[in-house]
Each structure stands twice: as C-alpha cells, then as structure tokens.
Amino acid sequence: MTIWEVYVAYIHKCVQDNYINDIDPAHYEMEWNHFLPQCIFGDQPIGHWLTKRQHAIASALQTLAFRKNCMCGWHKHCLPEQLLNLAWPIFCNEAVSRGKRNAEELHKERDENGKSIRMIKHNAKIHAKKDERGNSILMVRNAKKVHAEKNENGKSIRGLRYAERLHREKDELGRSVVAMRVNSQRWKCLVTGHISNSGGLSAYQKKRGIDTTQRERVG
C-alpha cells in the first residue's frame, strides 16, 4: 500500500468516525482539510472538516505522499512520534530553503559597501534613541533583562554560561581560541578612520560619543 492510499484510507476513516460520533465544526474545534494539498494544487473545493489532530496527521501523510511540505509548525505537537520522524525533516528542509529565499529577497538591495539597505534602515530605527553615553536605549534595556539573574558576586549567570561555552576551546598554552581569533581582527571607525580590534574600537568610539555600529572590518 502506498502512502497516498494510506492517506485516502485515513481520511475516509476520519470522516466516518466524526459522522458516527457527531463531531462537527459547530461543536468542536476543527480544521478544513483540502483533500489535495492547497500548497500544490491551489484552492480546491473538495475537502473535509477534521479535528486538529486528524488534520495534522493528514497533512503529514500528504507531505510524505508528495515529498513536499504540506504541514504547519503547530502540527508537530499533534503527530505520533513515528510519523513525526518521517515527515518533519521535509518540513525543516523546506523551511530553511524558504527562509534563505526570503532573506535574499529582503536584502537584495545593497549599498556601495555591500550592506543590506533594509538592515541599515532597521538598525537605525531601533537604535535611534540614545542615552547620555550614546548607547542605544533599546539595547541597554534588553541587556538588563538578559542579565537580570546574578550570582553571589553580582555577575550575570547567563553571561558566565555563555562565556564558558564560548571559550571552552583552548590552544596548547590554555588560551581561548575564540578570543584570540576575535582579538586578531582589525576594525576601522567609519567616522574618524581609527583602526583597532573589536573591543578596543568599541571603547574608542564610546569615549567620543560615536555610534559603535559605525565600523567596518579591515582585517
């Protein structure tokens, strides 16, 4: 029996069971299931009212039958484990591909430095409000939320966990491989032309009230 035949048999059983047990959309939360997946065949008049779990299983079977994602994210929580393991990789692969296509479309317009104009406008908008030190008010507020939980020494627990993961890899002298890699990078201030590593340039720009996003990597 093919997966399509399993799907057809499953839909037939669902419709029968719902009819026998008086399960209908007027009294239960149900979803309209296009017998032929709408994402492939467009809007079709043929379909059936199914419960949310039935609809999730039907969508997973459609996904396997056509080898094209017909599922929604919430279906994951309604599927039997074996069916989820079979259908979910198709959902994930298509989601990644769709995300890449959308990102390319959103950021296709670039400035002379190759940076996304949409991203530049977005960053300018969210960082428009500054405090007296020239720091983004939004970023400062978010940082306070993230690092609200402290240890007995007053250090951010989340920050310590992140640092431990980040610097786990060491060289033969016990130095952090990531830190050495970052510190070897050279960055240039787009306002004054000053060149330093990432941390040094941040300190330089903050001291002079320069937006720390005004930089480019030069080495």
d(CA 142, CA 128) in angstroms, rounded, equals 15
Q: Looking at the structure, do residues 100 and 175 belong to the same domain, yes or no?
A: no
Global confidence as pTM: 0.53
At 157-176, the pLDDT tens digits run 998 998 888 888 888 888 88
pLDDT confidence tier of residue 75, bands split at 50, 70 and 90: very high
Give me the mean pLDDT over the 141-152 stretch: 89
Return the amino acid letter for 131: D
d(CA 29, CA 25) in angstroms, rounded, equals 6
Exposure string over 68-85, b if 16+ CB within 10 A, otherwise e: ebbbeeebeebbeeebbe
Residue 147 belongs to some domain of the structure: no
Q: What angle do CA 113, 114, 116 make, to 5 degrees?
A: 115
127 — phi, psi (to 5°)?
A: -105, 15
Contact 158, 146 (CB under 8 A): yes
Out of 75, 105, 135, a domain closes at 105
Higher pLDDT, 87 or 106: 87
Residue 121 belongs to some domain of the structure: no
Containing 172, the helix (H) or strand (E) segment is: none
Contact 182, 197 (CB under 8 A): yes
Q: Looking at the structure, do residues 9 and 95 belong to the same domain, yes or no?
A: yes
Q: What is the pLDDT of residue 34?
A: 94
Residue 118 belongs to some domain of the structure: no
Residue 143 belongs to some domain of the structure: no
d(CA 138, CA 122) in angstroms, rounded, equals 13
Out of 105, 121, 137, a domain closes at 105
Residue 145 belongs to some domain of the structure: no
At 94-117, the pLDDT tens digits run 888 888 888 888 888 888 888 888
Residue 162 belongs to some domain of the structure: no
Number of domains making up the chain: 2
d(CA 164, CA 34) in angstroms, rounded, equals 50
Domain range enclosing 187: 170-219
d(CA 35, CA 185) in angstroms, rounded, equals 56
Q: Looking at the structure, do residues 93 and 176 belong to the same domain, yes or no?
A: no
* Sole residue written with tokens 């002079």: 208
Residue 21 belongs to some domain of the structure: yes
Contact 78, 100 (CB under 8 A): no
* Sole residue written with tokens 């990432």: 198
Q: What is the pLDDT of residue 103?
A: 85
Q: Looking at the structure, do residues 10 and 87 belong to the same domain, yes or no?
A: yes
Q: What is the pLDDT of residue 32?
A: 94
Query: Which pair of tokens denotes residue 87?
Result: 């259908």
In 3-state terms, what secondary structure has residue 208? coil
Q: Looking at the structure, do residues 100 and 8 belong to the same domain, yes or no?
A: yes
Residue 205 belongs to some domain of the structure: yes
d(CA 146, CA 163) in angstroms, rounded, equals 14
Out of 81, 105, 129, a domain closes at 105
Containing 218, the helix (H) or strand (E) segment is: none
